[in-house]
Amino acid sequence: MATWTIGAVSVTRVEEQIGFASFPPEQYLAGFERELLQRHLPWLVPHHYSPEHDRLVTSVHSWLIRTDRHTILLDSCGGNHKERPGLARFHQRDTPYLARLREAGAAPEDIDIVLCTHLHADHVGWNTMLRDGRWIPTFPNAKYLFSRSEDEYGDPRRNPAADADPQRGCAYRDSVLPVIEAGQVEFIDDGSKIIDGLFFQDAVGHTAGHGLLKLESGNDAAVFPGDSLHQPMQVFRPDWNSRFCEQAGPARATRRSILDYCSDRHALLLPAHFGAPHGGYVTRHAAGYDFTPADDLVVAG
């Protein structure tokens, strides 16, 4: 179980699942070039790409962020027993996610804050659990934080188009609405301070209300960019959007802004779907960006 120390804050990855993307790389990343893949095969295999299957490897995990006063869960993966027609990877799952959370040192009752970078199905699922035929909040003592603009777009009661999106409609009804109805939700906006040193910031593009977290503690920093980056190759090619990005231009601009900040601040980049070691450092140079995985393997573009 991977844990990093950012100043006085600990960050632990809590895995739900890891596996292959449903699409070949050309369909997963817009503009994908095989030449870049071939150049980086020595370190992309096996944790980020499988030559045997010709598929990118994608992780689905949460980040458990702990200070001396707060226990925060960032993004809650796909969840168990959820109806996800059209999303086979998340349909009617039965994973030991809560056991892994306990192994990381936190029971559901210990979580003070749950924050979702956006409201796609693979980021909200464990917000709720099924009990006696109804969905109830998994984290009974937590305040759940959602982007106000993301909620306005993703709520199928206000935006009927959300119901037609397999990533949104069902997920909102079983994993977002029940915690709103339970009175545990607070809506946040660009620049909201979550706790001292931890800030929510708009990171639009992947979705209209997508956000990120910036953590600064002492001389150290980390960025949790949600789905602004899905794969390490996007560090070298920030113009490559994933097939799931809803706003192409803003997604590219957001990605470059994140990479610039990580380089300037020497901030640890901790996305939601990178394979092992699940994060790393970015260096900007005249021709673009390089990436150093968090296991200290230096990778140049």
How much is the average pLDDT of 42-62?
Answer: 96
With 70 as the cut, is the pLDDT of residue 205 above it? yes
Residues 6+ apart with CB under 8 A from 128: 79, 135, 136, 137, 138, 174, 175, 178, 179
Q: What pLDDT score does 164 carry?
A: 81
CA pair distance 97, 144, nearest whole angstrom: 18
Q: How confident is the model at residue 295 (pLDDT cuts 50, 70, 90)?
A: confident
pLDDT tens-digit map of 64-91 = 999 999 999 999 999 999 999 888 899 9
pTM for this predicted structure? 0.95
- The token pair at 47 is 């944790």
Tracing tokens 């699409």 back to the chain, one arrives at 23
With 60 as the cut, is the pLDDT of residue 297 above it? no
How much is the average pLDDT of 40-52?
Answer: 96
Tracing tokens 């790389």 back to the chain, one arrives at 25
Rounded to 5 degrees, φ, ψ at 220 are -100, 160
Q: Where are the domains of the chain?
A: 3-293
With 60 as the cut, is the pLDDT of residue 296 above it? no
Q: What pLDDT score does 4 carry?
A: 93
CA pair distance 80, 178, nearest whole angstrom: 15
Task: Look at the domain 3-293 and name its fold.
Answer: Metallo-beta-lactamase; Chain A (3.60.15)
Give the β-pairing of 9-20 and 3-6.
antiparallel
With 60 as the cut, is the pLDDT of residue 286 above it? yes
Residues 6+ apart with CB under 8 A from 242: 28, 29, 30, 206, 227, 230, 231, 234
Q: Which of 160-164, 179-183, 239-243 shows the lowest per-residue confidence on average (mean pLDDT)?
A: 160-164
Q: What pLDDT score does 298 carry?
A: 42
With 80 as the cut, is the pLDDT of residue 207 above it? yes
How much is the average pLDDT of 263-275?
Answer: 97
